[in-house]
Amino acid sequence: MVEDISYGIFDHLDQGQDDLAAHYEDRLRLIEAYDAAGFYAYHLAEHHATPLGMAPSPGIFLASVAQRSKRLRFGPMVYCLPLYHPIRLLEEICMLDQLSGGRLELGVGRGISPIEVGYFGLDTETAAPMYREALELILKGMQGGDLTFKGEHYQVTDMPVTLRPRQQPHPPLWFGLSHPDSTVWAAQNGVNVITNRDEAGSRQITDRYRQEWQTAGNDAATLPRMGMSRHIVIAETEAEAFDIARRAYPIWRRSFYQLWDRHGMKPINVNFPESFDELATLGQAIAGTPDQVASEIERQANASGINYFLCRFAFGDIRYDEAKQSVDLFSRYIAKS
């Protein structure tokens, strides 16, 4: 396999079965499998008013993840900062980092969907400065002491900060991006990044990140993680893997597009084709035997320049046993090869 690459998990926690409590429990059982398999981290999306995201309050689910795992790092990808009061979120972040013994990975963003943000009475023009202020306030609050902050959207004066994160000065930061220009801030601030772009788009991002990292005077040996996520299904035979993927993907895609379709809008900077085979042809999904999947991951990692590969094992109506099979085969034949 590719040298100097680590593996993680990305999860929308999209609707997969009618019994939501059972759905949560199955996912937590998978968390235990991710932990045992040695994945670096579990990254959970935040979405609202859509079956794409059944964990609209990711911190609540991640508190369970903290208790059901021992080594696995985890975090939101991302907290949609304008949808929280930053003081409340600051305290929750500190709690999660302490509860997990310092395993929190802190993904931050403004919220990619104007529809979802709109349900909270915000628009994208307002959300952007709110995001920047909220992040500044949260990072300042993690320094401890009395917190004073005066911004356009948030103000606080001499508030005693009684909680600190276990990781100092703060948990590692993560940012989702789709354009190379977004790497400038990330590289200047040592922020890890994740993209859903194809190989060519991902390569533009990783090349630009490395350039900005060196321009800032940083050592290449300390380069943050630059990740790319893919739908992954592994089975003993190629036919079985594709049968599972072809059944589950349209359900996941329907959840992905449901809110956009309801409002007659198109998703921003992303397009998922109707069939899994088309998605696999684009290189944005991989299914097959362990050898086939390993070979394709190696090819894509080399082509894209990433150092972090995120697997999306559970999507659509994939059952626990089917996802667990992918995890076990990945752990046995790919991650350790």
CATH number, domain at 46?
3.20.20.30
Could you give the CA distance from residue 158 to residue 147 in angstroms, rounded to a whole number? 5
Give residue-wise pLDDT tens across range 226-256: 999 999 999 999 999 999 999 999 999 999 9
Q: Is the pLDDT of residue 93 over 80?
A: yes
Quick check: is 83 in a domain? yes
Quick check: is 96 in a domain? yes
Total domains, the chain: 1
Q: Is the pLDDT of residue 182 over 50?
A: yes
Q: Is the pLDDT of residue 77 over 70?
A: yes
8 Å CB contact between 51 and 258: yes
8 Å CB contact between 255 and 317: no
- Residue whose token pair is 């000065």: 169
Give the pLDDT mean for 25-48: 98
pLDDT of 251: 98
Quick check: is 269 in a domain? yes
Quick check: is 86 in a domain? yes
pLDDT of 132: 96
Extract long-range pairs of 181-186: CB within 8 Å, 24+ residues apart: 181/208, 183/208, 183/209, 183/212, 184/208, 184/212, 186/212, 186/224
DSSP 8-class letter at 200: H
Quick check: is 1 in a domain? no
pLDDT of 319: 97
pLDDT of 337: 42
Quick check: is 143 in a domain? yes
Give residue-wise pLDDT tens across range 137-153: 999 999 999 999 999 99
The answer, yes or no, to whether the previous bond of 169 is cis (omega within 30 of 0) is: yes
Q: Is the pLDDT of residue 211 over 70?
A: yes
Give the pLDDT mean for 307-323: 98
Average pLDDT over the chain reads 96
Range of the domain at 61: 6-333
Q: Calculate what percentage of the chain has a pLDDT beyond 70.
A: 99
pLDDT of 336: 62
